[in-house]
Structure 1
């Protein structure tokens, strides 16, 4: 007899095999909710750890997620504004927002795909160095050359 678990995880009572009908990708708060709750009739392992529980209830994680969304929306508004009103303020704003957006994105890639703790720390240190170098390079380009807005306009004229 098969038992059905909440998120479409099926297990066979005879073999104890677990079959996934749908991808089990959940936000951290759902994962933390499911970690230590025994499910009646469960015939396999009771603990599913999809994300670290130390971050699941954290206010900092929630603020970081909100900050990522604010930066993304700010970037959506900043790109047309930079096209319509190219200036040094727009150049430096683009340098900061693009660097921050890419830093957070690459950080999530390292978190998701680098498994070992030491390698993950090294990857994040490398991403931090790359982000600092990128921001410094964009600021140098803005100060000593035409700037990001005018450079993109010059590329579009080609």
Structure 2
């Protein structure tokens, strides 16, 4: 009741004093008995386990993922306007790396168990290596990625 008595006085001063933390917490602290344990006004709740990295490896990995994604945005128009060997090999490397990181995140999120996760990651590494080797072979011995896509569009 004492808090309600002071409310008209605060309302005359404007809305801002109503949000003052001491005004909001004073009734809670006054109603607490001395025998009760102190109130936990702020608690932290974490759903997943927090990993503390000893280095900046995670930050650099995240940054490199974003750099490759942005590079792909520039490589796709470059492949259309000026096809060539440099663009072909750049596409082979960036597409393979982008898909490798994407499949790795899918495995991390959806594959459970240490053994299954290690097998899935090994499978992704093998698949990425074979994909990159196949794209490089295609670029060297055939028309290349850019010309192949142009030939598909001309059908």
Q: TM-score, normalised by structure 2?
A: 0.69
CA distance in 2, matches of 1:41, 1:118: 42
CA distance in 2, matches of 1:108, 1:114: 10
Distance of aligned partners of 1:54 and 1:117 in 2 relative to their CA distance in 1, 3 Å threshold: farther
User: Which residue in the other structure is 1:139 paired with?
Assistant: 136
User: Which residue in the other structure is 2:106 paired with?
Assistant: 109
| Structure 1 gap ranges (5+) | 1-38
CA distance in 2, matches of 1:62, 1:128: 22
Query: Residue 69 of structure 1 is aligned with which of 66, 69, 82?
Result: 66
| Bigger CA radius of gyration | 2
Distance of aligned partners of 1:137 and 1:52 in 2 relative to their CA distance in 1, 3 Å threshold: farther
| Structure 2 gap ranges (5+) | 1-38
| Displacement of 1:40 | 2.1
Distance of aligned partners of 1:52 and 1:131 in 2 relative to their CA distance in 1, 3 Å threshold: farther
CA distance in 2, matches of 1:133, 1:51: 34
More helix by share: 2
More strand by share: 1
User: Which residue in the other structure is 1:120 paired with?
Assistant: 117
2:81 is the counterpart of 1:90:
no
Paired residues in the alignment total 117
